[in-house]
Structure 1
């Protein structure tokens, strides 16, 4: 792999030390700053410098990321453009790894770990909603997770939306959407106004993944996924993986968050997270209605009797 020409250079006072990641629109570097210390710096790809949409979304991440101030949200330090014309965004350095990779290696996770993760994400998202921001791209790839401390940080407000935007700015045309198809709420695909309830649906999908290791739909192609999201119910949690069963209260909480109609979900993301946290406390208890299946999995999860 060719050496990144920006590694070892200084960008607006930030010494770019290592290239640590790359997405569709930006490259991420580990960096140092004399005042801010260790940070992450995102740099918009050079080929997108003249792409108005890409630049707008990049700047939006800085705008909304700076608007949402919360311990579970990666702090935005500054955004700018270098003399060479490179758009950059400096953000807080968050220890750990992307939750997506951790989940792929380890899901299904222990019930108490799932509860801790979901509650922290809900706290962060609720804080965004309280400031009038809907994230719209809530997924494991946009979450930093430190397994040692079980600390979670929310990333990437690049396609976030202000709830006080004009109605025509908040609508998605049928057949067009922003977000990630596997985690997007059905209403985002059908031209409805996207509200905070859409983030709850995405959080429900994350919980489903962490509890089972799979997603609530079986589609193999984007076209099939699109159709299933709009026309079919998600697979019930306790039918997702043979041999994994949770108390009905756990399944009820997750499936309520995944309700097709936003009005049928919990009042807000925190209500969902707290209901799930309470329900997960029943896992493995004598008399729980998991049919004993979860008890048989205690060795797998490393749980004590």
Structure 2
């Protein structure tokens, strides 16, 4: 929210970690009832435990009477900035971003928390080490504080008009489906590069959301070859009547995934390419970093430990072999690591009886 001061604290003194601190402007919370509403909303947001929701660590009041939120510090870029710097995203990436947003909303809605101000600026994309985006949705519930303060001020539209559901523009009671409409607007933007409704003023945009049907994304962006099923999902989310939208975030996400007819495929490799471990001879899918049988590091840059070659005939064998196994059940024994194990045993012996916990740092799968 642009009404909030954003600060980065060097380190939370008790937690010993970098955090983000938001200080709420005093003019937003000018009376005790507004302050009480903020505390209620902050407490609700702190209940969110989904990995795609920003974590609220603490909240309270400063000695000067200013209200604040302490949250996990995010190093990524918001979706608006990503679109501005990179342009249109590939369809698969767009769908994956929306899927993660919906995953965060599913938990929030179950807890009775409505976001009310979903927009690209409130969607943070954190880069994964292995590639792809890790989505974080921020500012849950804070729009309600601003909205309730403005009830007695006629003509004030609360929220962001470009992404506002029709019932929100009318001042009706909101539920989780109002957030799903906003997600539909964001999906439209990701598919076409523009908003479904644009006007000369915020009021005009709200009126368009209330009265005009959204344009067909295929006509707005004819060069993108948008799948019909994906367009249908977007248009349903943009229904004026909440009853005609998806019933909940999970249903929206399921329809979204089903709209892409092709199964997800690992970038940079063919479906049938495998890595054969030289240490034990076991076949592994190319995206694996370590052999599923002996634990030896494999893949590009692993030197003599593995060879890479297309083996279409081995794919059914690998799939059958890995079927039903969870990640925790994958056999990754320590092979040829006797010196390392010996050193660890010596260190454990030195602190035996006083040890509370031990943290081992190393390569994934080691």
Is the pair's TM-score, using the shorter chain for normalization, greater than 0.5?
yes
Q: What is the alpha-carbon distance in structure 2 between the residues aligned to residue 272 and residue 220 of structure 1? A: 31
2:143 to 135, 149, 159: 159
Other structure's SS at 2:135 match: strand
Larger Rg: 2
Q: Given that residues 99 and 253 in structure 2 are in contact (C-alpha distance below 8 angstroms), is that contact kept between their aligned partners in structure 1?
A: yes
Other structure's SS at 1:259 match: coil
Could you say if the C-alpha distance between residues 180 and 282 of structure 1 is closer, same or farther in structure 2, counting changes exceeding 3 Å? same
Could you say if the C-alpha distance between residues 78 and 252 of structure 1 is closer, same or farther in structure 2, counting changes exceeding 3 Å? same
1:142-200 Cα shifts (integer Å, max 9, x gaps): 11112444001111120249xxxxxx99x999965432111110111123221111011
Q: Given that residues 184 and 237 in structure 2 are in contact (C-alpha distance below 8 angstroms), is that contact kept between their aligned partners in structure 1?
A: yes
How high is the TM-score relative to the length of structure 2? 0.63
Q: What is the alpha-carbon distance in structure 2 between the residues aligned to residue 69 and residue 207 of structure 1? A: 24
Report whether the alignment pairs 1:35 with 2:19: no
Distance apart, 1:49 and its partner CA? 6.3
Report whether the alignment pairs 1:182 with 2:193: no
Report whether the alignment pairs 1:26 with 2:9: no
Q: What is the alpha-carbon distance in structure 2 between the residues aligned to residue 173 and residue 123 of structure 1? A: 35
Q: What is the alpha-carbon distance in structure 2 between the residues aligned to residue 113 and residue 258 of structure 1? A: 21
Distance apart, 1:90 and its partner CA? 0.5
Within a 5 Å distance, the mapping from 1:1-305 to structure 2 comes to: 23-36=2-15, 37-45=17-25, 50=30, 55=35, 58-148=38-128, 149-157=132-140, 158-160=142-144, 177-282=157-262
1:223-277 Cα shifts (integer Å, max 9, x gaps): 2212211110011111223423311111101000001100111121221122122
Q: What is the alpha-carbon distance in structure 1 between the residues aligned to residue 258 and residue 155 of structure 2? A: 38
Other structure's SS at 1:91 match: strand
Equivalent residues, number: 255
Could you say if the C-alpha distance between residues 282 and 175 of structure 1 is closer, same or farther in structure 2, counting changes exceeding 3 Å? farther
Could you say if the C-alpha distance between residues 228 and 128 of structure 1 is closer, same or farther in structure 2, counting changes exceeding 3 Å? same
Q: Given that residues 30 and 39 in structure 1 are in contact (C-alpha distance below 8 angstroms), is that contact kept between their aligned partners in structure 2?
A: yes
Q: Show structure 1 runs of 5+ residues with no match.
A: 1-21, 162-167, 284-305
Could you say if the C-alpha distance between residues 141 and 61 of structure 1 is closer, same or farther in structure 2, counting changes exceeding 3 Å? farther
Report the equivalent of 1:8. Answer: none
Distance apart, 1:210 and its partner CA? 1.4
Could you say if the C-alpha distance between residues 27 and 48 of structure 1 is closer, same or farther in structure 2, counting changes exceeding 3 Å? farther
Distance apart, 1:209 and its partner CA? 1.1
Distance apart, 1:131 and its partner CA? 0.7
Q: Given that residues 60 and 69 in structure 2 are in contact (C-alpha distance below 8 angstroms), is that contact kept between their aligned partners in structure 1?
A: yes
Q: Given that residues 199 and 205 in structure 2 are in contact (C-alpha distance below 8 angstroms), is that contact kept between their aligned partners in structure 1?
A: yes
Distance apart, 1:75 and its partner CA? 1.0
How high is the TM-score relative to the length of structure 1? 0.75
Q: What is the alpha-carbon distance in structure 2 between the residues aligned to residue 174 and residue 231 of structure 1? A: 21
Report the equivalent of 1:297. Answer: none
Distance apart, 1:80 and its partner CA? 1.5
Q: What is the alpha-carbon distance in structure 1 between the residues aligned to residue 127 and residue 195 of structure 2? A: 22
